[in-house]
Amino acid sequence: MFDAWHDWNIARRELAVRAPEVSAQHLGEALAFAEEAHGDQMRPAGEPYVEHLLEVVEILVSGAGVRDEDLLVAAVLHDVVEDTDRTAGEIGERFGSRVEKWVDWVTKPAPEAHEDPAEVRDLYLLSLRSAPPEVLLLKLADRFSNVQRLDTHPRPEKRRSYYRETCRYLVPLATGVPWFEAAFEEWRKFYRHLEDGEPATA
């Protein structure tokens, strides 16, 4: 379970030990940008949004062994374009073209009026098959954060559908990716009861 870096003070101390080559100042600037953009947004289970962003960084550093500073900055900013009014161009101006490109890759496009949202989502997930290695690491860490406590989601049907979606699209992407392949396989087995559904209790 990756939930130890729930605030920036803890994350900064851990980074100094685990990844001293990463600039805490640079990452802190990205986190401040993300916190301002996300404002008072909360996660489905009610936790502050920043905790998810730091979880993704924790998974990349402590799980996958990532030390690429730009990739960790992209992890902090990965939902900014999708979930706020900030643009990819703003991210590029502040944090560079690599970060902008990777955030753009993981940003799910909003469906047009004539488009089926489910189809747009499926096409987005399918497009990740051709993503650069850094994008795969970022997306896998993001999804692992989202599903590591899948049983806390307030809607049982969402637990089932998210489990199925993860197994269909994300687990195959983890094949051959160090650390994530084993992590997602263990996760899949742990939540296997969701394959056939569970009684809706909420």
- Active-site residue 83, yes or no? yes
| pLDDT given for residue 188 in this prediction | 96
What does the alpha-carbon distance between residue 74 and residue 127 come to, in Å, rounded to a whole number? 19
What does the alpha-carbon distance between residue 180 and residue 177 come to, in Å, rounded to a whole number? 6
3-state secondary structure the chain: CCCCCCCHHHHHHHHHHHCCCCCHHHHHHHHHHHHHHHCCCECCCCCEHHHHHHHHHHHHHHHCCCCCHHHHHHHHHCCHHHHCCCCHHHHHHHHCHHHHHHHHHHCCCCCCCCCCHHHHHHHHHHHHHHCCHHHHHHHHHHHHHHHCCHHHCCCHHHHHHHHHHHHHHHHHHHCCCCCHHHHHHHHHHHCHHHCCCCCCCC
Does residue 101 lie in a domain region? yes
Does residue 201 lie in a domain region? no
Which residues, in sequence order, are CB contacts of 133 under 8 Å at separation 6+?
A: none
Does residue 116 lie in a domain region? yes
pLDDT in tens, the chain (202 residues): 899 998 999 999 999 999 999 999 999 999 999 999 999 998 877 888 999 999 999 999 999 999 999 999 999 999 999 999 999 999 999 999 999 999 999 999 999 989 999 999 999 999 999 999 999 999 999 999 999 989 888 888 889 999 999 999 999 999 999 999 999 999 999 999 998 755 444 3
Q: Tens digit of pLDDT for each residue in 3-22?
A: 999 899 999 999 999 999 99
- Active-site residue 104, yes or no? no
Left if phi > 0, otherwise alpha if psi is -120 to 50, otherwise beta: which for 131?
beta
Which residues, in sequence order, are CB contacts of 162 under 8 Å at separation 6+?
A: 146, 147, 150, 153
Catalytic pick among 3, 82, 116, 119: 82
Does residue 1 lie in a domain region? no
Does residue 200 lie in a domain region? no
Q: What is the CA radius of gyration of the chain?
A: 17
| pLDDT given for residue 199 in this prediction | 47
Catalytic pick among 14, 51, 68, 83: 83
Q: Which of 68, 90, 65 is nearest to 77 (CA)?
A: 90
Does residue 199 lie in a domain region? no
Dihedral (C-alpha) 59, 61, 64, 67: value to the nearest 10 degrees?
150
Count of structural domains within the chain? 1
| pLDDT given for residue 45 in this prediction | 78
CATH number, position 39: 1.10.3210.10
Which residues, in sequence order, are CB contacts of 201 under 8 Å at separation 6+?
A: 156
| pLDDT given for residue 197 in this prediction | 58
| pLDDT given for residue 1 in this prediction | 85
| pLDDT given for residue 78 in this prediction | 98
| pLDDT given for residue 198 in this prediction | 52
Does residue 2 lie in a domain region? no
| pLDDT given for residue 118 in this prediction | 93
| pLDDT given for residue 200 in this prediction | 41
What is the pTM assigned to this prediction?
Answer: 0.94
Domain containing 127 equals: 8-194
Does residue 141 lie in a domain region? yes
Q: Tens digit of pLDDT for each residue in 153-187?
A: 888 888 999 999 999 999 999 999 999 999 999 99
